[in-house]
Structure 1
Amino acid sequence: MSAFQTSRFRTVVFDLDGTLADTAPDLTASLNHTLGKLGRPAVPAEDVRHMVGHGVRALLRNGLTATGEVSEELIDEGFPIFFSYYEAHIADHTRPFPGVEEALAALEADGVKIAVCTNKLEALTFDLLAALGWKDRFAAVVGGDTLPVRKPDPAPLFEAIARAGGEGPAAFVGDSITDTDTAKAANLPCVALSFGFSDRPPSELGADRLIDHWDELIPALASL
């Protein structure tokens, strides 16, 4: 551990979509490909940004709802279409948000364990992390199907912390009400990003700190 600590936290867990990386372009392309195969019109990219965060089935449900009637049977039909296309195009246009690498490096230099807790399917999560050059970057990765429950249930967040080593105080960083609700359920402090995939104004997320750029993360954590 470095002599200078950037915060009191020894484990920091991150959401993935809309937090670590802007995955909206590839999610939009995959959703619209699926909708097209199901005979539906495309959904605008800006709308998709507010549909993300609850997993593939929820994204499909939102896309179908926006374009007509929806049923579990139709979601079941669309799921493999989406999965296959997204798996093949998972990082065509997805990129880490500016400042992510520097913030993660600063935490690691301070001896902080970093982990991922996302509602994205585990297989797709590992595919994306590898595509972004982050295959071995995180001490732990928990996806939406790693456990029987997913966020906002706090169990996946606790699991990510435990798998990372469970050292000292922990904090969660996300971009949506799902993330802030997860942190609250776990009784952990939360930093939210104002530029992610929230379905409501960021000021209404109820985060302990709200930041507008990744270069504000370390000061925000230090202030908690």
Structure 2
Amino acid sequence: MTRAVIFDLDGTLIDSAPDIHAAANRLMDRYEFDQFSTAETRSFIGSGVPHFIGRCLRARGREDDTDLRARLIDDFMADYENAVSLTRVYPGVPEALSRLAADHALLGLCTNKPHGPARAVLEHLGLSDYFPVIIGGDSLPVRKPDPAPLHAAIAGLAARNVLYVGDSEIDAETALRADVRFALYTEGYRKSPASEIAHASAFSDFADLPRIVAKLLP
């Protein structure tokens, strides 16, 4: 039975919050809004760019301005694709991916980050070769927690025995709705205590992930 480990991206494999924060504040400056703190922008991450911009506008009292929202989404996307310079891989990620690949696990990506920025940051960080299948937030008409993106990643890998790895409540709900086992990386962007997020296994160190995969995907 073909084994696959499918990952979320932001907050799971990479800490992209500094780049997202900088891009959001460049946008706020352009439209003469007050800037956000890093903690504020981190709390907006996880449901894709339209949701992120909606949260930004809600925080500035302009959530009902649909024309402004559309302009901000377009302007943010134009900047976001190249916003990679501040993003860092979490410790142990390259080694864990290499070990999983050596153990003949197929690797895929299912993220709410748009496909273009996701591929750009993976290439910048030297991780793109690990992922033959990348499903982004704009790859389908729906985003996580709808299970369709995760199902699409599974189909793309032709996998039958699957573990989804993510860092958030949205990832956990996606896995549940897709009927896929879920491993929680506890050092990402979750908003709730780890104990309140449904998971088959939780870890804070990527050195532990190959052992978890071996246990959950024998």
Q: TM-score, normalised by structure 2?
A: 0.93
Of 133, 136, 146 in structure 2, the residue corresponding to residue 143 of structure 1 is: 136
Q: In the alignment, what sits opposite 1:200?
A: 192
For 1:165 and 1:139, the matched residues in 2 are separated by: 11
Counterpart secondary structure, 2:164: strand
The answer as to 2:192 corresponding to 1:190 is no
Of 76, 80, 89 in structure 1, the residue corresponding to residue 70 of structure 2 is: 76
Given that 1:43 and 1:66 are in contact with CA atoms closer than 8 Å, whether structure 2 keeps it comes out as no
Residue 86 of structure 1: CA displacement? 1.8
Aligned residues between the structures: 215
Cα RMSD, aligned residues only: 1.6
| Structure 2: 5+ residue stretches without partners | none
For 1:222 and 1:9, the matched residues in 2 are separated by: 13
The answer as to 2:102 corresponding to 1:112 is no
Residue 85 of structure 1: CA displacement? 1.9
Moved more, 78-87 or 189-198: 78-87
2:96 partner amino acid: A
Q: Deviations over 1:136-183 (max 9, x none)?
A: 2212111111112111111111111111232x3101000111100010
For 2:206 and 2:18, the matched residues in 1 are separated by: 20
Q: Deviations over 1:170-214 (max 9, x none)?
A: 010001111000100011110011111112223222122111121
Counterpart secondary structure, 1:115: strand
Moved more, 15-24 or 142-151: 142-151
For 1:103 and 1:169, the matched residues in 2 are separated by: 19
Counterpart secondary structure, 1:49: helix
2:190 partner amino acid: S
Q: In the alignment, what sits opposite 2:165?
A: 173
Given that 2:184 and 2:199 are in contact with CA atoms closer than 8 Å, whether structure 1 keeps it comes out as yes
Q: After the TM superposition, which segments of 4 or more aligned residues of structure 1 sit over 6 Å from their partners?
A: none
Given that 2:6 and 2:165 are in contact with CA atoms closer than 8 Å, whether structure 1 keeps it comes out as yes
| Structure 1: 5+ residue stretches without partners | 1-7
Residue 9 of structure 1: CA displacement? 7.3
2:116 partner amino acid: A
Given that 2:2 and 2:158 are in contact with CA atoms closer than 8 Å, whether structure 1 keeps it comes out as no
Q: Deviations over 1:53-89 (max 9, x none)?
A: 111111111122223231322211211221122223x
Q: TM-score, normalised by structure 1?
A: 0.90
Q: In the alignment, what sits opposite 1:20?
A: 13
For 1:222 and 1:135, the matched residues in 2 are separated by: 23
For 1:137 and 1:206, the matched residues in 2 are separated by: 27
Identical pairs, percent = 36
Moved more, 57-66 or 24-33: 57-66
